[in-house]
Amino acid sequence: MAHALDRHLALVGFMGAGKSTLGAQAAERLGRRFVDLDRELERSLRQTIPQIFGARGEADFRELEAEAALEALANGSPAVVALGGGAVETEQIRRALREHAFTVHVEIDPATAWIRVGGGDRPLAQDEQSFHELHEQRSPLYDEVAQAVAHDVDGIVLAAAGIELEEGLLARLPELVDGDVEVVADATVLALHRPPLEAPVHALRGGEEAKSLGAVERLWRELRLGRDGTIVAFGGGCTTDMAGFAAATYLRGVPWVAVPTTLVGQVDAAIGGKTAINLPEGKNLVGAFHWPERTAIDPALLETLPPEEQRTSATPSRTRSRRPATTTAPATARRSPSACSRRCASRARTRLRSTRCCDRSPCASTAMPPGPHSRATRNPSTARRGSSCSRLPASRWPASNCLSSRYARPSTR
Ligand code: S3P
């Protein structure tokens, strides 16, 4: 599982990485309990960490640390759990992390860590050389247990939501998605980019036309995936809405990965598992909450948006136009990756906070909550402009518009 939706979010990393500070901030943003294991130990033993080390020695400290970690990780509602820098040395803790948590490595280079904590009260941060050696010795253990790496609170929230944001990420997609895969892609996007994976491709018409019952039925019938297979959605918000809905319903739900190619897709639609198709009576009237296993965001994909959409990207309050992506505009007009990351993290936080999932299973509930999706808003006189259920003319959505291309070969462009 590539997100922390229904499990603990554990933070590991070397001394001085900021696990306690960032963990508290992440917990606050996600509306979760924060468990700082060292502070818990200090509270229960009524001794500080240096006192525990001094009175009992490191070996005893590791046992106490393991007990506290196993207790915290095996129980309770999903929390944010910060572990001490050396906790990963204990095999039992590594196993508990694998079983019960989504683990993020809060990374820090040893020189910065030494500046922050060297010579302070941490028993293992007294001698600079052994501090560096310890860092080197533990690095492979952090890599082994962590499913994601982060350096700040936005990075932690993004990781918790299963979001990877990186310039050029598209090229790394084959590393992130394995097993049986089929790609559902916007035909316009396929004219501009090779399919991101060597897999069967189903092309959809661009825009809202993809979100019809006819199109989704066609897709259901074309898919050959088993329950363990993964749908990869490659396109804008309409593609991810429709492909995500197909994933939520096909075989009673299969995993999916969102690869959004538009700004609105990247900072909103592909985050948090809102999936839907339209009815002639209104937009998004049938759907499901089905959290993507991953959302892979490559800001470089926005380079093919037309210039006015690039400008929109740089102006957060405006929305994307419906024009298809056709030209290449200067990268300077694009929103910066850090702005994009803040926007995505904020959306991810909102959706993580508002999603309550069943215990251990992936979130595949097909229930729609009341509110904007309720009958009342289907009435055009009460539908608010711009709400997710605003009425659009029935003629906008042909009965079937999934272009048949089950085994369309990857384009060479
Ligand atoms: C330790 C790190 C400390 C604390 C103890 C041992 C370590 O926690 O658990 O001093 O072995 O690296 P922080 O990583 O929060 O400093």
Q: Enter the tokens of residue 25.
A: 């901030």
What integer pLDDT is reported at residue 337 of this predicted model? Answer: 60
Q: Which of 189, 174, 223 is nearest to 302 (CA)?
A: 189
The neighbour count for residue 115, using CB atoms within 10 Å, is: 10
| CA 142 vs CA 19, 148, 386: distances in Å | 13, 10, 45
Closest ligand 1 atom to residue 134 Cα is: 12
Alpha carbon of residue 353 to chain centroid: 13
- Confirm or reject: Cβ of 287 under 6 Å from ligand 1: no
Residue to substitute in 37, 49, 112, 138 for testing ligand 1 pocket (most ligand atoms within 8 angstroms of CB): 49
Cα(257)–Cα(233) distance, integer angstroms: 6
Q: Which residues of the chain have pLDDT under 70?
A: 307-338, 354-413
Residue range 242-281, pLDDT digits in tens: 999 999 999 999 999 999 999 988 988 888 899 999 999 9
Residue to substitute in 12, 124, 132 for testing ligand 1 pocket (most ligand atoms within 8 angstroms of CB): 124
Q: Which of 7, 14, 2, 4 is nearest to 106 (CA)?
A: 14
Domains in the chain, please, with CATH?
8-160 (3.40.50.300), 163-379 (3.40.50.1970)
Contact 280, 394 (CB under 8 A): yes
Closest ligand 1 atom to residue 14 Cα is: 14
Q: Which of 226, 174, 170 is nearest to 199 (CA)?
A: 174
- What pTM value is reported for the model? 0.77
What integer pLDDT is reported at residue 32 of this predicted model? Answer: 96
Closest ligand 1 atom to residue 82 Cα is: 15
Cα(315)–Cα(335) distance, integer angstroms: 8
User: Residue 367 burial (CB < 10 Å; 0-12/13-18/19+)?
Assistant: exposed
- Confirm or reject: Cβ of 19 under 6 Å from ligand 1: yes
How far is the centre of ligand 1, averaged over its atoms, from the C-alpha of 84 (Å)?
4
- Confirm or reject: Cβ of 49 under 6 Å from ligand 1: yes
Strand 101-106 to strand 34-36: parallel, antiparallel, or no bridges (unpaired)?
unpaired
What integer pLDDT is reported at residue 348 of this predicted model? Answer: 80
Contact 118, 125 (CB under 8 A): yes
